[in-house]
A = this chain, B = another copy of it.
């Protein structure tokens, strides 16, 4: 079998996750040469933000130490996916595209890259949770039994670096029957409800806790983007599809929005935040009802693989002793109920958001990709 060879890497996005990833990539480059379990040679040949781009026309390695200054001083504007593909397709070594954006245009371009044999590693949820047609196109274009097409890995599209997608894939591929997937899939929702209604009592009003979460950076700039439930719905869509359900879109199953109906017409996030306190009564009622039963309320998503009503995300009551109630901080928890695991599910728990842990899922996928391409 062939030995190691050069592999080219192109990175799109140098924001929160992208910056952490590039730091990990630099460490990886220096570690790989000493590692017994990973391949050795890769070169960064292109790096792009939404505005600017640096690349090496002759595919000579860009520096992993000075990319930030180089980007700042670059006079080259960012290019379209089609233009980047044209450049990468001409390379005479294998290429991995790392998309650290959450951009739909890049997601839509994955099939073209994969068909050209370019592998893709990404935390971009939109590629796998938008139309079912795009999902099918991506997986049909990726490498399958025929040895053609690029590899596709997207661990960090659900639960950041937690081994959620690899575990689900392995359950399915080894022939287990996945019956139900349940969990807390949003770091924001986790933090919000762990603060709003901690086990043992306490917690402020709902609007106060939303404000706290926003101030601490746990929400999107506009908290409605978390409270509308769509982020969780996207993650459920990805897992449901991996479990074999042909989910048409993230809005094809019941999604509970925590935005009060009367506030749906708010024009800005600021207006929404100002008025949210007027509707604290609804959430307070739910909290009291749950407390009367000795329970707490959490925002969970679940997929019933056997049933027609494939997935939903909703407020649910849990006993204080339930692992979902005991969750801390902004942790995610994902439980897989399967034929082999029986009544006690396989559970994965831990930080499901944050630059470093999200980038870790990307770096881990890249290592898997490199190993496949080097072998």
Residues on A lying within 8 angstroms of B by beta carbon are 1-4, 24, 27-28, 31-33, 35-40, 139-140, 142-148, 161-163, 166-167, 169-171, 173-176, 199, 320-321, 323, 326, 328-329, 331, 340-351, 356-357, 360, 363-364, 367, 371-375
Contacts and interface: CB of A to CB of B under 8 A. Distances in A.
B348 A348 contact: yes
A175 B375 contact: no
Contact of A175 (B31, B142, B357, B373): B31
Contacts of A175: 24, 27-28, 31, 363
Nearest to A2: B147
Contacts of A356: 340
Contacts of A36: 139-140, 142, 144-145
Nearest to A171: B360
Name the residue in A32, A167, A367 with the highest tally of chain B Cβ atoms < 10 Å from its Cβ.
Answer: A167
A344 B340 contact: no
A38 B144 CA distance: 6
B373 A170 contact: no
Contacts of A346: 162, 348-351
A91 to B, nearest CB: 15
6 contacts: A4-B146, A32-B145, A329-B344, A340-B357, A341-B350, A372-B375
A174 B341 CA distance: 29
A174 B28 contact: yes
B321 A199 contact: yes
Contacts of A148: 3
Nearest to A339: B356
Given A173-B35, A326-B323, A340-B356, A147 B28 contact: no
Contact of A166 (B166, B347, B372, B373): B166
A79 B140 CA distance: 45
A310 B173 CA distance: 36
A326 B347 CA distance: 13
Contacts of A364: 170, 173-174
A32 B144 CA distance: 10
A147 B4 contact: yes
A341 B372 CA distance: 28
10 nearest interchain CB pairs? A3-B147, A346-B350, A347-B349, A174-B363, A170-B364, A27-B175, A36-B144, A40-B145, A372-B375, A340-B356
Contact of A163 (B144, B170, B199, B360): B170
B169 A37 contact: yes
Given A40-B145, A329-B344, A341-B351, 8 more contacts: A37-B144, A163-B163, A174-B364, A326-B326, A342-B351, A344-B350, A346-B350, A347-B350
Nearest to A355: B340
A372 B370 CA distance: 10
